Amino acid sequence: MKRFKKVLTVLLAGVLTMSLWGCGSASKQTAEPAAEGKQDNAAESDKDLIVVGYAQVGAESDWRTANTKSFQTTFVEENGYKLIFDDAQQKQENQIKAIRNFIQQDVDYIVLAPVVETGWETVLGEAKEAGIPVILSDRMIDVSDDSLYTCWVGGNFIKEGEDAVAWLNDYLEKQGRGDEQINIVTLQGTIGSSAQVGRTKGVEDKMPEHKNWTMLDRQTGEFTQSKGQEVMESFLKSYDDIDVVIAENDNMAFGAIDAIKAAGKVPGKDIIIVSFDAVKAAFEAMIAGDMNVSVECNPLHGPELLKLFRNLKKENP
Ligand code: GYE
């Protein structure tokens, strides 16, 4: 599929700078097309399929599982794709290895959902050198050379943090607690990941508008239920007057709910639970009254990328 790859490489840089998906800046450059005569390895046995290597974060949360499923059910043979999936178990070094493997297999595209934002220059430089476009999915990277990636499809995490604060303010007002001293703890996601950085920032930026709110503590629960529970247990031991937990994803909120119940308190009443993602189990927790709100973050990126690839192909059959 090298011909399509070359055409799309150029188009992604041009067309996507204008798209809704946060695709590149005006100064974005194209990745070099693949060298002529290069061996097709991964693509060899599937000549007509477009080969996509997906370097996924891991399987730490329900959101992540839904995101993986979205790719696995979209990039299938009947849609013209072959997906090579790699689960990095939340480790950047595993993602770097996966990307190097994809380069060796000479895939048509690399999709990267980066664990953290920094430290990508070397390996993405290698992908660029090999002429393989890199599309960022979910989280962003922090690199000075933005020609190292072609496009980004993901959420607005700062806005999600701000929305959580707006909801909390509204809720407290309605409960007649608008002027009360409110003590908050935060279960942060993986430190240095866009979802953590953005959600923390969105909340932090709005805190000064609420003089009666205090952030007692913040610690990472690594986006997992078990770590969320563990950190919440330690918060409950350290502070006896927690009014609100902000969990930077639903799975950590589920862990916090368990810890609160085990401590003899009522989640959703004694302690307000604010969360992010809005996975199915979060709705169940809200219906049960254990969770108060979950700010939506859509994990279904597969069809968005497919649409993108197809539109570009239509223009250049
Ligand atoms: O909120 C969390 C997952 O990056 C938006 O990662 C994603 C976050 C999501 O582990 O559940």
Q: Which pTM was predicted? A: 0.87
To which H or E segment does residue 277 belong?
A: strand 272-277
To which H or E segment does residue 247 belong?
A: strand 244-247
Q: Can you give the C-alpha Rg of the chain in angstroms? A: 22
Pairing type for strands 244-247 and 182-188 reads: parallel
Please give the number of the atom of ligand 1 that sits closest to the Cα of 113: 4
60 lines ligand 1 (CB under 6 A): yes
- CA-CA distance, 167 to 226, in Å (whole number)? 26
Fold of 157-296: Rossmann fold (3.40.50)
Please give the number of the atom of ligand 1 that sits closest to the Cα of 139: 4
Fold of 7-20+46-155+299-315: Rossmann fold (3.40.50)
Using the mean position of ligand 1's atoms as its centre, give its distance from the Cα of residue 1 in Å: 32
Query: From first to last of its 317 residues, what are the pLDDT tens digits of the chain?
Result: 544 444 444 344 333 333 334 443 333 333 333 333 334 455 455 678 999 999 999 999 999 999 999 999 999 999 999 999 999 999 999 999 999 999 999 999 999 999 999 999 999 999 999 999 999 999 999 999 999 998 899 999 999 999 999 999 999 999 999 999 999 999 999 999 999 999 999 999 999 999 999 999 999 999 999 999 999 999 999 999 999 999 999 999 999 999 999 999 999 999 999 999 999 999 999 999 999 999 999 999 999 999 887 876 666 56
| Nearest of 302, 279, 226 to residue 73 by alpha carbon | 302
Going by alpha carbons, the residue nearest to atom 7 of ligand 1 is: 195
Using the mean position of ligand 1's atoms as its centre, give its distance from the Cα of residue 204 in Å: 19
**Residues in Cβ contact with 219 at an 8 Å cutoff, skipping those fewer than 6 apart:** 186, 187, 188, 231, 234, 235
Listed by start position, the domains of the chain span 7-20+46-155+299-315, 157-296
